[in-house]
Amino acid sequence: MGSSKINCDDLTPAGRICLHPEMDLIIHCAFGVKNPIDVDSIKAFVRNSLMVEHPRFCSLLIDIDKHIIIVDPTTKDAVEDDDSNHVDSSDNNDDVERIVNDYLADLSVTTPLSEDKPLWELHLLLKQNCIVYRIHHALVDGISLMSLFQADCRKADDPKAVPTVVSGGRRDSTCSGLRGNSNGWIRVLLGSLNMVLFSCVFCLEFVMRGFWLRDQKTVITGGPGVELWPRKLATAKFRMEDMKVVKEAIASATINDVLFGVISSGLSRYLDHRYPNALSDGLRLTGLEMDMSELMENNSRSRWGNKFGALLLPVYYQKGGVDDHLEYVRRAKKMIDRKKRTFEARFSYSISCLVLYWLGLKAAYRRTYRLICNTSFTVSNVVGPKEIIIGDNPVTFLRVNVSSMPQALVMHMVSYEGRADMQILVAKDIIPDPEFLAKCFEGALLDMKEAATRSASFNPIV
């Protein structure tokens, strides 16, 4: 990857690290569409999109044909479109989700983007009615990518209108409950002291994670070199309505709190299945979450894409689970709220800047690589647009994952059209059954919904 493809001076520290040859992170966004894919329509859509106008995507002259790749997923053959290629898939009974996930898993570890053109591609899986958009992570992050889709696509019920993104709103967790309280200033002072104390603790841990502090080894642990191992991909499917039922059962909770509660419960279930009687109760597993909200809100002049910090979010193995399934969400909310009140995300971003500018790109990459190796999983949650069309073709699902990292477990959730699909990318020699892990997550949410429904029936709103 060279500066001829991307102007590195225009990249944030995270973007430059993503561009490092040994990191080389690529985002894979899969769109399922309702009707058969018309290649000419897709080309017209691309020609009229921001991808061919934004300087990040057109640092070299763009030949649309070189970016459109038609794939036969039954043979894993892929060729650049020459207007005469028609691919025939031989098995009409192939499961679409399995074929698409297998294809994405292979792309995640074996296929870099070609360096002779701007770093993005569209793969068309004609038989499966699926469009896979591959784009280098140095160009965009999750929020920037959703903004791009929002600008390029149109509403399914109004083809002339730009789609909107559903927002769950944000709570002011620092000042809530202080107004009208005569002792409010005392609570503010104590809150400020807690913020400073926990900021010091969390920032110190963040530094230590970049050197030697790491999670205890379990059956989901990755490590150096695991990014080169073969991958499997499974999809955990959630209904947004179910997540909202759980969210409403806990005061001031968010969808992100619910997601992390589901991950905590689901991982405990999975470890009970894979590692019975071998783990101590309360064992900590540390997740890595990228946090963009605060940095973007407090810096309206920030460069487009990849301006984010990281949060270390621990979950704790509960042998046999807990009686009250909502307790997982309560713990997640308490932990995430405490993290959000500190400077951890901003500190992690500043550390990346300092290491990059003082010690160079190689040192910044090594620090980031060790941080990833010393944690157990990565998770992200991005709010997708409402129902959209690509060209004149309605989108039926929207899923995202990234190329391989040294962790054995990486999860990315995107909400779309009342659903939230979480892609679970694993190193298959370490986690051979991601489909079962997906069922653990799905079962955890359903149990939480049932507990929330019972709680609401016992405590009706008067």
* pTM greater than the 0.85 cutoff: yes
pLDDT in tens, 98-113: 999 999 999 998 778 8
Indicate the pLDDT class of residue 262, thresholds 50, 70 and 90: very high
Mean pLDDT, range 258-265, rounded to an integer: 97
What is the distance, to the nearest Å, from the Cα of residue 256 to the centroid of all Cα atoms in its chain?
12
Mean pLDDT of the chain: 82
More confident residue, 52 or 110: 110
Instruction: Find the farthest-apart pair of alpha carbons in the chain and give their distance in angstroms, rounded.
Output: 76
pLDDT tens profile 266-295: 999 999 988 877 788 889 999 999 765 544
What does the pLDDT read at residue 178?
A: 45
The mean per-residue pLDDT over the stretch 434-447 comes to 97
Q: What is residue 80's predicted lDDT score, i.e. its pLDDT?
A: 55
**pLDDT per residue as tens digits for the range 163-193:** 766 654 444 444 444 445 556 677 777 777 8
pLDDT band at 18 (very low <50, low <70, confident <90, very high): confident
Is 29 in contact with 84 (CB distance < 8 Å)? no
pLDDT at 374 over 70: yes
Strands 388-390 and 154-155, by their bridges, are antiparallel
pLDDT at 157: 74
pLDDT tens digits, residue range 200-239? 998 999 999 988 999 999 999 999 999 999 999 999 999 9
Rounded to the nearest 10 degrees, how much is the dihedral formed by the CA atoms of 38, 39, 43, 45?
20
Higher-pLDDT residue of 46, 462 = 46
pLDDT in the model for residue 186: 76
pLDDT at residue 213 in the model: 94
pLDDT for the residue numbered 171: 46
Q: Which residue has the higher pLDDT, 136 or 307?
A: 136
Taking residues 367-376, report their average pLDDT. Answer: 95
| C-alpha span between 449 and 242 (Å, rounded) | 6
* pLDDT over threshold 80, residue 419: yes
pLDDT over 70 at 432, yes or no: yes
**Amino acid 307: pLDDT:** 66
